[in-house]
Amino acid sequence: MPREKPQNKGVTRAKRGSAAPRKSGRERVADQFTSALATEIERLRDQLSRSAARIEALEKSAHEDALTGLLNRRGFERAFAQAIAYLKRYGGSAALLYLDLDRFKPINDKHGHAVGDVVLQEIARLMMGSVRASDFAARLGGDELALVLWNLDAAQMAAKMRALETLVESASFEVQDTKLDVGVSIGGVMLSADDNLAAALQRADAAMYVRKKERKAARE
């Protein structure tokens, strides 16, 4: 009697998909190394970016007056040297203004240095608000300020000095409802391509003292 063939009950075995070939140990190590290397590169990029930001901040603080935000003397020396180099190469005109506050010491003596600092900050703000982006200003120390103005002649320089004096005189500086009496005397000189900072400041400082005497005599 012949044997019966097993009946097909409709159950089929699912075909397995083609499995990805297993990586060798060497390949797995290579993948881990590549991933670790990418992570380290990203970390170093982030560190480099933060270091560059810190360097930029340090360079800025090295050339900027912390109180007023103007250039400090070191920053002004560098900017002035660049200005003279520009005049030598391209020509043009520029003026140096030297500003000294009038009646500032009594404010510090009576109201304290904190109030004096606020006055300096406000004068720096007024000054920068009245010049062009190409001009630059500095606090050289104490209440002594300097400005370099581009593309003007001697008559325009004189008009700018008087306008700045008027601007400060007309500004309202008050503490505890008391108006502070503060002004500024300005001396200016036209710059040449042969100038150096020491000589230019000396001339501007001398012109400022002449102006200070004139202003004091006019008030008496």
For the residues 171-195, what does the mean pLDDT come to?
90
State percent of the chain over pLDDT 90. Answer: 63
Q: How many Å apart are CA 84 and CA 78, to the nearest integer?
A: 10
Residue 92 near residue 150, CB atoms below 8 Å: yes
Confidence of residue 196 (pLDDT cuts 50, 70, 90): very high
Highest mean pLDDT among 24-28, 129-133, 154-158: 154-158
DSSP string, the chain: -PPPPPP--S--PPPPP-PPPPPPHHHHHHHHHHHHHHHHHHHHHHHHHHHHHHHHHHHHHHHB-TTTSSB-HHHHHHHHHHHHHHHHHH---EEEEEEEEES-HHHHHHH-HHHHHHHHHHHHHHHHHTS-TT-EEEEEETTEEEEEEES--HHHHHHHHHHHHHHHHHS--EETTEE---EEEEEEEE--TT--HHHHHHHHHHHHHHHHHHHHHHH-
For the residues 62-90, what does the mean pLDDT come to?
95
Confidence of residue 1 (pLDDT cuts 50, 70, 90): very low
Q: How many Å apart are CA 183 and CA 104, to the nearest integer?
A: 8
100 against 16, higher pLDDT: 100
Residues with Cβ within 8 Å of 106's Cβ and at least 6 positions away in sequence, in order, are 181
pLDDT(114) > 50: yes
Q: Is 143 a catalytic residue?
A: yes
Out of 12-26, 33-47, 125-139, 185-199, least confident range = 12-26
Q: How many Å apart are CA 81 and CA 159, to the nearest integer?
A: 25
For the residues 151-171, what does the mean pLDDT come to?
96
* Beta-bridge mates of residue 179: 174
Residue where the block lists tokens 């075995």: 13
The mean pLDDT value of the chain amounts to: 86
Residue 67 near residue 121, CB atoms below 8 Å: yes
Q: Could you say which of 143, 153, 177, 205 is catalytic?
A: 143
pLDDT(159) > 90: yes
Q: How many Å apart are CA 8 and CA 64, to the nearest integer?
A: 91
Out of 72-81, 109-118, 157-166, least confident range = 109-118
91 against 26, higher pLDDT: 91
pLDDT value of position 62? 81
pLDDT(44) > 90: no
pLDDT(78) > 60: yes
